[in-house]
Amino acid sequence: QVQLVESGGRLVQAGGSLRLSCAASGLTFSNYHMGWFRQAPGKERVFVAAISTSGGNTVTSDTVKGRFTISRDNAKNTAYLQMNSLKPEDTAVYYCNARRISGFYANVNYWGQGTQVTVSS
């Protein structure tokens, strides 16, 4: 079974930094684009950042551009989200996403369970 397990979420003060990890199993990691989404209380889940299969291309949302960096280590089957200069509005549950890029299941999405990030003011 495909499994994505996020870790690293915790309470942090505004201006601080946090590094989230997403450990993937049950898939050929290099066949999947990886992404991070977040959902704040009472809000819809929104896109944060994504990275291509080999890490050569990244996209970040305007709200986090310049502060958050997505990366991946295919040898470890792990994706990361480095979050710097955190703001209270970054408070949300952060979800890891894996999207297959080819085959019958191309574009199928897998999701992790989420990890809570709380930024205090």
Q: Is 16 helix (H, G, I), strand (E, B) or coil?
A: coil
Q: How far apart (Å, rounded) are the C-alpha atoms in residues 121 and 119?
A: 7
The Cβ of residue 33 has, within 10 Å, a number of other Cβ atoms equal to 19
Confidence of residue 68 (pLDDT cuts 50, 70, 90): very high
Over the stretch 17-36, which tens digit does the pLDDT of each residue have? Answer: 999 999 999 999 999 999 99
Q: Which whole number is the average pLDDT over 44-68? A: 97
Q: How far apart (Å, rounded) are the C-alpha atoms in residues 81 and 74?
A: 14
Q: How far apart (Å, rounded) are the C-alpha atoms in residues 112 and 97?
A: 7
Measured distance between the N- and C-terminal CA atoms of the chain, rounded to whole angstroms:
40
Residue partners of 87: CB distance under 8 A and separation at least 6 = 14, 119
Is residue 59 within a helix (H) or strand (E), and if so which, with residue range? strand 58-60
103: pLDDT strictly greater than 90: no
